[in-house]
Amino acid sequence: MRHYGFTSSPAASKTMNFKQAISKLSTNHNNNLQPTNLSYHNLCTTEKPPPGTRDLLGLNLKYCLASATTDKDINKTILQMAKSIRTFHYLQDNPDLQKSEYIKQIYIKNPTWKPPPAPLHIEDAITNFEIRLKRKATLISQANKKRATSNLTYKQTHTLQTLKQNKNIIIKPSDKNLGPAIMDTIHYVRQILKEHLLTNTYRQLTQSEAHNKLAYISDNLKNLIKTHQDKLPSAEYTYFQRSFSLRHRLPIFYGIPKVHKSPVSLRPVVSNTNSFLSIFSTWLDYKMKQLIPLVKSHIYNSNEVIQDLKNLDIPENALIFSADAKSMYTNIDTEIGVASIRDLILQNNETLQDNFPTELFLQVLKIVMNNNIFTFANTYWLQLSGTAMGTPSACLYATTSFGQHENTQILPRFSQNLKYYRRYIDDILGIWVPSDAYNTTWPDFIQVLNNWGHLEWIVEQPSNKTTFLDLNLELHNGKIETSTYQKTMNLYLYIPPLSAHPPSCLKGLIFGELQRYWNQNNNDKFQIILAKFIERLYARGHKLENLIPILTAAAINIHRRQLNWTPKTDKDDNTLYIHWTFQPHGIQRKDLRHIYNTTLATAAGFKNMTVAMARPRNLRDILAKTPLALPPNINIQTLMEATDTP
């Protein structure tokens, strides 16, 4: 056992012993690709994580699992592709149907509509594609029987099963993407109750209360849409009608650990996916995109800040500061928030489109923000105040509602002091020019900033340096120098090479990070952070010989962007998308393209074909599911009675 990692069983045959040994040693040849910086946040106080937890969770919850199965989604892929081809030719034969309005964000496919068959020669080509694809899948499956395909070691596989079955331990991604965290389930539930659900922000409902209230809200919202049907474009009305026919679930509440805080607290999150109110909140989010340009302080990201600061003439006595809202979402009073957006719309009515449905928009907004009903394990809750947690329109609601206060109170009153003022949701960056030697207007600014309902801003004292989003900023001789800000607790758990991600994911990571580092740093700092980035990738198991080609291509891409080079695009492009779940030992992108080119390319009628690779399931899908499965020894009602509320 010490030398070979397995022992034989006298009761088993040689073949069985051999297979057992191979299963335990199957990934040993990949040990040199295993990460060396395996780490996670152990927040357990009573339970003890099983041996091997570090080796498993240190891979990152995004780590995708490889499988020997290659044909699991093959029929789904063929059906999707065939429907796309048939729909394309149906619309070609019926050009009037192509004129219907299409809005990507709120488009819902008609689940009952099936296109008629394409011309016979195209249907024959689809059949040939299917035959060739299934033949290829069979050959690969047979080959996979003779080799190990798992990308977990025996120890990691055993730990995965142990953690999956242990309901006394809960695993969550930490806040700010600082790595996986593990904690006692009972401590997690107590913390959720004490910090959130048993505060004045929420109220418990019975199951019947929750369902009755949702039924009433549903009828109310459907009647609103029917009443305002004539004011809605056809694409928006169609979105609502098709969404109503889908199955819906109640939102789910959970918390993610703020490991960068001491003591560790939980950030509240509500998963609204497929909930009934998310239909309306998604529409609100779409309509709010028309309001965002009216918010003078709004920025989309730190790149916009860098561009703004390049040509900014900064006075010698200027200082920089940042501010952070304290629990912004829960501290926005709904009456004030909705009223602010109403004022923003009315004061900019001439700028907005003539058909903006102001009355319907405001009524729906108020209902969505006031009726956030969700579950936590087997209990039901109603949020009583603040922005509806997790609702799709939350970000733009927070941005636009406080933006009206900035537009009318902050920016006009302190225009002489604020050389620069920008906000990204709950983070503010400003350049402050004191009005006198004593900076007497600064306290007034803080007072006005905080004079909007219950919202409170934690404001830095102006100085020559600050941090904003992912930027460090330093003021030198009237110019601001930037560098990349990285949290000290960041574990840098980049995707390891053995993860069953499509290869394009690593390329996308490197291209994106290098472009970001180049934009944010001067040459010297760029070289330093690039070296650290490569070291961190190496610590995750990546080999330099594999990274160099991607790094080189990323450098060329940066150079082209500096020359304002953009790739050629076809404005009349019509592209067929073939959807496929990636597996390292399965059918690859080149296989799909080859089969398509030899069977369908000529007949299908598309100018281009793109293979849209999806990832297989990852560790988070298995270990950190959103619904909370409680062990038999935990009763939430009992814990509620024993919990001291703030």
Counting the structural domains of the chain, the total is: 2
Q: What confidence tens digit (pLDDT) does each residue in 387-425 have?
A: 999 999 999 999 999 999 999 999 999 999 999 999 999
User: Do 594 and 573 belong together in one domain?
Assistant: yes
Residue 39 has pLDDT above 60, yes or no: yes
Q: What are phi and psi of 48, to 5 degrees?
A: -115, 120
Residue 518 has pLDDT above 80, yes or no: yes
Mean of pLDDT over the chain = 90
Residue 293 lies in a domain: yes
C-alpha distances (whole Å) from 376 to each of 61, 167, 625, 628 are 22, 16, 13, 7
Distance of CA 47 to the CA centre of its chain: 30
Task: Give pLDDT, residue 98.
Answer: 63
Q: Are 418 and 431 in contact (CB under 8 A)?
A: yes
Listed in sequence order, the DSSP H helices in 540-600 are 544-562, 589-599
**What would you report as the CA-atom Rg of the chain, rounded to the nearest whole angstrom?**
28
Residue 302 CB contacts under 8 Å (≥ 6 apart), including other chains:
468, 469, 470, 471, 520
User: Do 480 and 495 belong together in one domain?
Assistant: no
Paired sense of beta strands 379-383 and 373-376, if any? antiparallel
Residue 230 has pLDDT above 70, yes or no: yes
Only one residue has tokens 């102006």, namely 462
Q: What are phi and psi of 421, to 5 degrees?
A: -150, 115
Q: 219, exposed or middle or buried, with CB in 10 Å at 0-12, 13-18, 19+?
A: exposed
Residue 477 lies in a domain: yes
pLDDT band at 283 (very low <50, low <70, confident <90, very high): very high
User: Do 476 and 540 belong together in one domain?
Assistant: no
Task: Give pLDDT, residue 440.
Answer: 85
Residue 131 tokens, joined: 């035959």
Average pLDDT over residues 441-465: 95
pLDDT band at 34 (very low <50, low <70, confident <90, very high): confident
Query: Per residue in 504-541, is it b (16+ CB within 10 Å) or e — as a string?
Result: ebbeebbbebbebbbbbbeeebbeebbeebbebbebbb
Amino acid at 455: L
User: What DSSP letter does each residue of 42-77 carry, written as one string?
Assistant: E--SSS-PPTTHHHHHTT-TTPBPP-S---TTHHHH
**Predicted model pTM:** 0.89
Task: Give pLDDT, residue 21.
Answer: 43
Paired sense of beta strands 608-614 and 575-581, if any? parallel
User: Do 456 and 402 belong together in one domain?
Assistant: yes
Task: Give pLDDT, residue 2.
Answer: 35
Residue 319 lies in a domain: yes
Q: What confidence tens digit (pLDDT) does each residue in 581-597 have?
A: 999 989 999 999 999 99
Asked which of 484, 508, 525 is the last residue of a domain, the reply is: 484
Query: Three-state DSSP class for 150?
Result: coil
**Which three-class secondary structure string do you get for 451-516?**
CCCCCCEEECCCECEEEECCEEEEEECCEEEEEECCCCCCCCCCCCCCCCCCHHHHHHHHHHHHHH
DSSP lists the bridge partners of residue 373 as 382
Asked which of 484, 513, 542 is the last residue of a domain, the reply is: 484
Residue 403 lies in a domain: yes
User: Do 495 and 475 belong together in one domain?
Assistant: no
User: What DSSP letter does each residue of 103-129 carry, written as one string?
Assistant: -GGG----TT--PPPPPHHHHHHHHHH
C-alpha 507/C-alpha 542 separation (Å) is 12
Task: Give pLDDT, residue 27.
Answer: 41
Q: 468, exposed or middle or buried, with CB in 10 Å at 0-12, 13-18, 19+?
A: buried
Q: Which of 40-49, 147-156, 610-619 has the lowest mean pLDDT?
A: 147-156
Residue 452 lies in a domain: yes
| Structural domain harbouring 421 | 193-484
Q: Are 247 and 239 in contact (CB under 8 A)?
A: no
Residue 640 lies in a domain: no
Q: What confidence tens digit (pLDDT) does each residue in 358-381 have?
A: 999 999 999 999 999 999 999 999
Nearest to 196, CA basis, from 250, 256, 263, 278: 256
Residue 570 has pLDDT above 70, yes or no: no
C-alpha distances (whole Å) from 323 to each of 105, 409, 429, 456 are 32, 17, 7, 10
Residue 160 lies in a domain: no
Q: Are 151 and 65 in contact (CB under 8 A)?
A: yes
User: Do 359 and 406 belong together in one domain?
Assistant: yes
Task: Give pLDDT, residue 92.
Answer: 87
pLDDT band at 643 (very low <50, low <70, confident <90, very high): confident
pLDDT band at 5 (very low <50, low <70, confident <90, very high): very low
Average pLDDT over residues 566-590: 81
Percent of the chain at pLDDT above 70? 92
User: Do 301 and 276 belong together in one domain?
Assistant: yes
pLDDT band at 635 (very low <50, low <70, confident <90, very high): confident
Q: Are 305 and 299 in contact (CB under 8 A)?
A: yes
Q: Which of 98-112, 143-157, 188-202, 345-359 has the highest mean pLDDT?
A: 188-202
User: Do 470 and 517 belong together in one domain?
Assistant: no
User: Do 603 and 469 belong together in one domain?
Assistant: no
Asked which of 466, 484, 502 is the last residue of a domain, the reply is: 484
Task: Give pLDDT, residue 18.
Answer: 40
User: Do 425 and 531 belong together in one domain?
Assistant: no
Q: What confidence tens digit (pLDDT) does each residue in 92-124 have?
A: 888 776 666 778 899 998 888 899 999 999 999
Residue 625 lies in a domain: no
Residue 171 tokens, joined: 């695993």
C-alpha 586/C-alpha 581 separation (Å) is 9
User: Do 313 and 413 belong together in one domain?
Assistant: yes
User: Do 111 and 255 belong together in one domain?
Assistant: no
Residue 25 has pLDDT above 50, yes or no: no
